[in-house]
Amino acid sequence: MVVNTIKENLRVNKKVATRKEMIFVEGDVIVPDAKPDVLNIICTSGVVCIYKKEMIDEKIKIEGNVDTYIMYMTDDSQERTRGINTSLDLSEVITIPNITSEMEGNIGTNIKEIEAKVINERKISIKATVELTIEVVSKEEISIVNSLENTEEIKMLQEQLRVNSLIGSGETKIYAKENISIDNIDNLVEILKLNVGIGNKDIKISYNKVLTKAEAEVKLVYLTEDNRINKTVATIPIIGFVDIQDVNEGNLCDTNYEIRNIIVKPNSVEEHSVYIEMEINVTTTAYEEKTINMIQDLYSPSENIEFNKKTIRTIAGKREVLDTKDISERLKIEEVQARNIIDVDVTPIIIKQNMTGNKITYNGELELRFMLMGDDLQIMIKKESIPFEYTIDNISDSDNLNVHTNIEIGNQDFVIQEGGEVLANVQMRMNTMLDNNVNINTIDEVQTTGEREEQDYSIIMYIVKKDDSLWKIAKMFGSTIDDIARVNGIEDENMIFPGQKLFIPRYKRKGMSSENASMINYA
């Protein structure tokens, strides 16, 4: 006979795949007729834009472009610095087992290197190495049996578990536009270098809406009409609303930003400024922390019971750790004497991640690329590095912990000292998302299949084995936890140990009155 169950719904965002892929985007650039010949490459920079991603069975298809900026030395008597901007098409199909078209994928991008080689004075070969961080999730709604109807004869092993239940997700498209000012004395000829990053991310939740806030941090190196090189830095606000039904202030959110398109050009209307427009796709997934009651096991001392067991994998303990780390270091750079620092690229690299006990330790380095210019207007690139260590304390269950750490570079300052030293002050903004994989062991499809084999009321002696519990022993012999505890004088049901001798009262035969059962002597 089928036993009626009482169920509770749970929505899970199951992580199907998390992986990093290194792809290569290549192309050739022909130097426009209006620009002088190329002697050698000084440096390169770029921005990745992903404008389309498509989930296919066993595959994910990605389309976009890499906007690249190349600074080069001209092959003429003046040996000037000039720049070329080009866009490389990015199209990649990545095989990922077990994914389907119904799943969702988040993609993070990072340019590891852009290599430019001079083929001849009018042609440059470009190869961009792009790191993709891919996370594929499957949204599932499941039912958890947390109670049974008419359960007088059925003993249940129940457990409470706190999990992060999925509320929903949504996305919005944001167009961020800004005129970035340059020095009033500068008449811009061309943009030599561009760096764009998205930082200072924050959210505010109101009923059914998530306000997403961030800043696009833009750095431009440009050439002026009088052949000088200068730099400007600006932040562009990125603000949008994501609609998610039933989200409220007590919930947690994961937010992902993807640059889909970027336009950078001298402002034709306002002098001494550069116009920037970015299309950014923002996706947000909201969770609530939920306590669920589960039946992990059951039996009846008087009836045979059959049921299915199933394991559900989900996440719990979701939290965000925000921190800053200030690094101050003196660097010996002899080449800096008699030169100005035009720009410094700062790239954080995590070399090693070590999880021990209740903490995570990161060892890495800040990779610094100095752009130096002398009185002769010649550009020199000098690379340095600064090691760092960062620790996150008070984590739990490291064996099943998911960790995603993002490092943003905040305030930075580089001051030339006497004797060829540079005082480097860099602020690192650490954003770490933590959650635990948990397996929910529950039951389903409960039914009785008749009475247990009849037997006289009896008592036996049992020696406790390793990993035994009173629940296991009671189920094994058709007894009850309460009866075993009472007969053996056990006050704490969890306090039994291997080798301990227990007297196990066997349950009364079907139809035996409780009055008669109470007269049986267990001594």
Quote the tokens at residue 375.
């009185």
Give residue-wise pLDDT tens across range 303-349: 888 888 888 888 888 888 999 999 999 999 988 887 889 999 999 99
Q: How far apart are the first and last CA of the chain?
A: 38
> What is the per-residue burial (b if ≥16 Cβ within 10 Å, else e) of 348-375?
beeeeeeeeeeebebebebebbbbbbee
Percentage of the chain exceeding pLDDT 70? 95
The mean pLDDT value for 352-380 works out to 90
Give residue-wise pLDDT tens across range 15-66: 888 889 999 999 999 999 999 999 999 999 999 999 999 999 999 999 999 9
Q: Which residue carries 């064996």 as its tokens?
A: 399
- pLDDT beyond 50 at 520: no
**Selected residue with higher pLDDT from 105 and 153:** 105
Quote the tokens at residue 277.
């427009």
- pLDDT beyond 50 at 522: no
Task: Label residue 509 by pLDDT band (50, 70, 90).
Answer: very low
Q: Which residues contact 457 (CB under 8 A, 6 or more apart)?
A: 505, 506, 507, 508, 509, 512, 517, 520
pLDDT of residue 455: 55
Is 456 exposed, middle or buried (CB count within 10 Å of its CB: 0-12, 13-18, 19+)?
A: exposed
CA dihedral 35, 39, 42, 44 (to 10 degrees): 60
Could you tell me the CA-to-CA distances from 439 to 386, 397, 467, 517 in Å, in that order? Answer: 41, 13, 19, 41
Q: Which residue carries 């949204």 as its tokens?
A: 139
Lowest mean pLDDT among 107-116, 332-341, 497-506: 332-341
Average pLDDT, the chain: 89
Give residue-wise pLDDT tens across range 450-476: 776 655 567 889 999 999 999 999 998
The mean pLDDT value for 507-512 works out to 46
Give dist(CA 279, CA 268) in Å, integer: 21
- pLDDT beyond 90 at 284: yes
- pLDDT beyond 70 at 518: no
CB-CB contact of 12 with 165 (8 Å) = yes
pLDDT of residue 55: 92
Out of 228-237, 334-343, 445-454, the most confident range is: 228-237
CB-CB contact of 395 with 434 (8 Å) = yes
Would you list the DSSP string of 246-294?
T--TT-EEEEEEEEEEEEEEE-SSSSSEEEEEEEEEEEEEEEEEEEEEE
pLDDT of residue 344: 95
Residue 194, CA atoms < 13 Å, CB-side half-sphere = 24
pLDDT of residue 442: 85
What are the sequence ranges of the domains in the chain?
A: 11-138+166-287+317-438, 456-517
Statement: 456-517 belongs to CATH 3.10.350.10: yes
> Helix, strand or coil for residue 298?
strand
- pLDDT beyond 70 at 225: yes
pTM summary value: 0.82
Q: Which residues contact 178 (CB under 8 A, 6 or more apart)?
A: 218, 234, 236, 275, 276
Task: Label residue 523 by pLDDT band (50, 70, 90).
Answer: very low
Helix axes 470-477, 481-488, angle to 10 degrees: 110
Task: Label residue 397 by pLDDT band (50, 70, 90).
Answer: low
pLDDT of residue 301: 81
**Selected residue with higher pLDDT from 2 and 257:** 257
The mean pLDDT value for 138-161 works out to 85
pLDDT of residue 402: 84
